Amino acid sequence: MKIVVIQGPNLNMLGVREQGIYGSMKLEDIHGQMNAFAQKDKIEIEFFQSNLEGEIVDRIQECLGDADGIIINPAAYTHTSIAIRDAIAAVQIPTIEVHLSNIYQREEFRHKSLIAPVCAGQIAGMGPFSYHLAMVGMKQILVELAALREHKAKAQQA
């Protein structure tokens, strides 16, 4: 089981920028916590961060045939990127959208996610714990998909 975590623009600045909104935890610390969860459950995890939309699209496409699930915080691209939305839809890999802040309590322009409709779910407003919840959710989704595949295989053999 492999999960790719994709982080969008400015998330490399966590712990420095707008701590009142995003908290004081650095991205490396969040990744460390996710990695500890993944190791405990024998999940392979890979991290990627970019401030560039095209690089994020490329990384999503590279997940095809290589990853079982994607956890993505598209950051500001949440509200603007049809390209990221289309890439997620194209690869058809279970994806969970994550936000540290509650985007629905913020400025009006942040209330609309172009990404959420092509994702299995969205977790927002729980700070760094949002990523832990995404890991738990993704693990459950992947376990259920594996069970469904196994059930279908047995049914075809019968």
- Catalytic amino acids? 22, 99
| DSSP symbols for 81-92 | -HHHHHHHHHHT
Number of C-beta neighbours around residue 14 at 10 A: 22
Tell me if 134 sits within 8 A of 71, measured CB to CB.
Answer: yes
Tokens linked to 88 = 């997620």
CA distance 135 to 141: 10
Q: Taking the CA of residue 40 as centre, how many other CA atoms within 13 Å lie in the half-sphere pointing to its CB?
A: 10
Phi and psi at residue 44, to the nearest 5°: -80, 135
